[in-house]
Amino acid sequence: MRLRRRRTAPNSRATSGPDVTSSSDRGVTPSSHAGTTHRAITVGGEVDTERSNMRASAPQGAGSTYREQEPMTEEFTQGGGEARRYPAVADVSSLEVGVPGLTVDQLPDPVLALGHDGTLVYANDIAARVLGWRVEDFVGRQVLDLVHPDDLNLALSSMQTVGGKDVGDLIHIRVRTGRSTWMRLELRGVQHPTEDGSVTILIARDTTDRHLLDLDQGEVSVLRSVLATMQGMVVLVNPDGRVRSVNGAVTRLLGHDPEFVAGQPFVDYLHPDDVDLVLDMVSRIRPHESDSLDARFATTEPGRYVTCEFTVNNMTDDPVLRGYVVSGQVATALADARNRVDFLALHDSRTGLLNRDGFIREAGDLIRAGGGLGLLLLYIVHFRSIYELYGERVGDQLLATIADSLD
């Protein structure tokens, strides 16, 4: 990008057009119109201020297009009828940008240019239309005057660091409109050096309606309220395994103070017998994938644990979360049901004694443990008579009572 200053005699005109084959030679070029020095962004070629046509500096080749257009200057009248021109608008709107016939003012998104001191020196037509300002009302102002107070630090930091990057980071800020409202914009900028310093080109996009279908509809306070009142527990865990933050359900269900939980190892709140199981599961979860498990979590009551069904989402590669999202709920009823199913798989449903599968498993465990296996056979005299006389229920109770006495 080069900055060139040229003047023309009054009433002369400067025309500019793009050289689309020389996209690397982009700059901010000062030119003159009606005796007023102003700046114009040019794409390749040179602005000839002595003649009304432009000579492209690069040869025409396949896909090359050159078009002569007259510069456009925004004028408005202030007190006393004095006419002022905002030079940043002149010539820029007539430039073709890579596609024959497509100019900056025809782009669907706002395009802004900032001077080295943060002053708005150019805005295309769509920027004025989207923001609700007349071009003459906000070109020439400090851009920070239009930024929401809560977003000033972000905007200022981005302006200071964009010069050290090929392309600036995508940021989201709120900007004041001409309708006295705040509009959400996402911005990305790139800085080009010039002879007078530098110019930052910003491409903006209105994201006000983008969050209408989101849960929080773009309002952080809504999301905070949802997280604070929901029944499910949510825990953010750093990649090193330490808790970053928890929602209100963790305190209500487990009793832990969020202030004391933050910074503590997540596994410290697991039952010792479940730690290896959880760590093994987490180690298998790849980025942006998840897995679920039941585990016992410690409460503030010493020695008391609550069984929870929880899901771990590996978001360590996410640029915002950069960690694990653990969400869960108390699963006491579910755990009881599962325990009951497991018990009945190995025990008789009436007496609670081992069934055939349970006996084989227990016997196998004893043999593998090396303790040997002994069998005690008992015969209950007249059990059939008792069973037939008093019914199945009494007979089952008798078997359970004898089994308990043997234990």
pLDDT score, position 281: 94
Hey, CA dihedral for 290, 292, 298, 303, is it positive or negative? negative
The domains found in the chain, sorted by start residue, are 1-85 (no CATH), 107-210 (3.30.450.20), 220-335 (3.30.450.20), 365-406 (no CATH)
pLDDT at 301: 92
pLDDT at 284: 95
pLDDT at residue 274, as a whole number: 95
Q: Is the pTM of this model over 0.95?
A: no
Structure tokens at 145: 């005057």
Q: Tell me the average confidence (pLDDT) per consecutive run of 10 residues in the chain, 407 residues long.
A: 37 39 38 37 38 36 37 35 38 51 74 87 87 84 89 87 85 88 89 78 82 67 84 94 94 92 95 95 94 93 91 91 93 75 84 85 84 78 86 85 77
Cα separation of the two ends of the chain = 91
Joined together, the tokens standing for residue 107 give 């782009």
Residue 132's region, left for phi above 0, alpha for psi from -120 to 50, else beta, is left
312, exposed or middle or buried, with CB in 10 Å at 0-12, 13-18, 19+? buried
pLDDT at 218: 63
d(CA 58, CA 48): 15
Amino acid letter, residue 252: R
**Quick one: DSSP state of residue 216?**
S
State how far the Cα of 53 lies from the Cα of 88, in Å rounded to an integer.
20
Q: Are 192 and 27 in contact (CB under 8 A)?
A: yes
- Contacts (Cβ under 8 Å, ≥6 apart) of 82: none
> Longest Cα pair distance anywhere in the chain, in angstroms?
129
Contact assessment for residue 305 and residue 331, using Cβ atoms and an 8 Å cutoff: no
Give the model's pLDDT for residue 250: 94
Q: From CA 227, how far away is CA 64, in angstroms rounded?
A: 56
The shares of helix, strand and coil residues in the chain, as percent rounded to the nearest 5, are 30, 30, 40
